[in-house]
Structure formats: C-alpha cells, structure tokens
Structure 1
C-alpha cells in the first residue's frame, strides 16, 4: 500500500510540474511575427510528455520492488544457498529467530547465543537441535525440528553464521 501511495504522489507531482511548465509564457513575438506552434503540435507534445511522466512514475517504483524481491532471495555476505539451506532459512525464521541472533535472517534474539559470534559447524548445530541445551539463562528444547528439517537448519546456520 505504501508503494502505491508513493507512486501516486510522484505521478501527481510530475504532472503538476509538467502542467506548470506548459502554462509558462514566452516572450511575446515581435510585431508582425508569429511564433506560436499549431494547436495539434502542442497537444501531441503534451500527450507525449504525459505518457513519459506516467511511464516513469510507474516504472521506477516497479524496478525498486523487483530489485527488493531479488535481494530477499540472497543472503547477506553473498552466500548462495542450496535448496536445502533455503528451506533451513525458512525453518530458522519460524523456529529459532526469536531466541538466536543471526544477521543473515535478520534475527536478533536475546535468549540464545549469537550464532554469528559462534560460527558453529553443521555437526554442532545438528547436535544442539537434537539434544537441546540448558546453559546460562536460556534453555533450548530438544527436537524443535526433526529429521531432514533439522539437517536443513544446520546446513543453513553453518553456511551463513558470521558471514
């Protein structure tokens, strides 16, 4: 919705500037001289400029939205994820991000350890998922995710932690 409001605002602002510019007066012609273009030329120019303003007003935000959606598919640090790691990212977001900090998932948890600082390997993450942890102030329950899902989360965390 915010993008639509932004688009409408800039289209209206562009049209206002255009209309003000079209109404601007020129120096009057010398006596006996006519510099005025035919009405059809002025209308054609106005229509062309209208198309350009509306086109840019719609195209520029569209490119920004497309670029933003492509950026969501990538992870900070430029790590290309496999399908399993991408699945692990989704699972991490739903199951782990409330407790753990991991920049690649924009997670800022306060209970569990900061995984960017730990930079754990896949085996350590998988062990923590299966066994759980009861240290410090927090307690991670065992088997929040199981089987292949646990392997996918472990692969994701080990690939992106600290990068």
Structure 2
C-alpha cells in the first residue's frame, strides 16, 4: 500500500511540474515568473494548481471507476442476465485477457482477431479447453495457458452463460 501511494505521489508531482512548466512557457518562463512573484503569490499559485490537478487528475478518474462498477450483472440487448460470483469474476478476467481478440456482447468486447463468441456460443468445456490448451486454426493463433485453474473455469462459465444471448 505504501509503495502504491509513493508511486502515485511521484507521478502526481511529475505531472504538476510539467503542467506548471507548460503554463509558464517552459523553464525560462517558469523561472521568471517565480522570481517576479512574492512568496505569498507563489504559495497561492502552487496551492491553486495543486488543488486543480488533484481534482481533475485524480478525483475524476476515481469517480468514473467507482461509477462503472455499480452493476456486475451483464446487460445484453436490454435484458439483465444475473451472473453468479464465478461468472462475475470470469467477466473481469475476460475483459483483461480475452476482449482484445474476441467479440462478446455481454463483456462489451469487439475484438477483430479471434472468432465472435456470440456467434460460436461455445459450451463451458470447449471454452475451458481453448483457454488452457490454446488453438491454432486458420490465420489466427490463441496461445495456451492464458489462464489456468479456477480463473479459466470462471471465464468459461461466463462465456457459456452469456454468449449469443
């Protein structure tokens, strides 16, 4: 947790410095501005820019991230499909590992490399086998062992529950 906070703080500081440099027209403009203002003016400007940067650069993405997780159920063609805990986990894993290649409406994925799972509607066993063993047909190649164990089972359950609906 401390390492994550330090990492974020570092990039916040880097971003703030770059933002201030850009506003002042580069290093020379920044130096001239800092030398011409009083200490109180410098402090006020720094506080103002910091508050703005934190509000826009940190708070907005956090609020958007929180707002996007309000419903973990799948919404397909205007219908809500209730997902089990395993299928919800599978949806997250699908988004992180499969959505770049495959199309699946329930995951809002529109990959162009692999086949559309909405068209194929594969059973859980076939999906699990493809995730663990990989596939090599036609012009594409799906690598083996993208996920293993319970993670592969979760994705297979999610695909089987939602594909083609």
Alpha-carbon separation, structure 1, partners of 2:68 and 2:145: 34
Distance 1:136 1:81, change over 3 A: same
Q: CA deviation at 1:69?
A: 5.2
Counterpart in 1 of 2:148?
146
Following superposition, which runs of at least 4 residues in structure 1 exceed 2 angstroms of deviation?
Answer: 66-70
1:51 is matched with which residue? Answer: none
CA shift for structure 1 position 136: 1.6
CA RMSD of aligned residues (A): 1.7
Alignment of 1:1-163 (within 5 A): 70=70, 72-77=71-76, 78-163=80-165
CA offsets per residue over residues 110-143 of structure 1, 9 Å max, x none?
A: 1100000001110110111111001122100011
Number of residue pairs aligned between Structure 1 and Structure 2: 97
Structure 1: where are the runs of 5+ without partners? 1-65
Equivalent-residue separation in structure 1 for 2:68 and 2:154 (angstroms): 25
Q: Distance in 1 between matches of 2:154 and 2:163?
A: 14
Q: Is the 8 A contact 1:129 1:145 kept in 2?
A: yes
Report if the CA contact (8 A) 2:93-2:151 is conserved: yes
| Maintained 8 Å contact 2:73/2:88 | no
Work out which structure has the larger RCO, using CA pairs closer than 8 Å and 6 or more positions apart in sequence: 1
SS at structure 1 position matched to 2:103: coil
- Higher strand fraction: Structure 1 or Structure 2? 2
Judge conservation of contact 1:93–1:105 (CA < 8 Å) in 2.
yes
User: C-alpha displacement at 1:93, in angstroms?
Assistant: 0.3
Could you tell me the TM-score, scaled by structure 1's length?
A: 0.56
* CA separation of 1:93 and 1:133: change in aligned 2, threshold 3 A: same
Give the TM-score of the pair, scaled to structure 2.
0.55
The runs of 5 or more residues in structure 2 that have no matched partner are 1-65
Q: Distance in 2 between matches of 1:148 and 1:69?
A: 22
Secondary structure at the aligned position of 1:76 is classed as strand
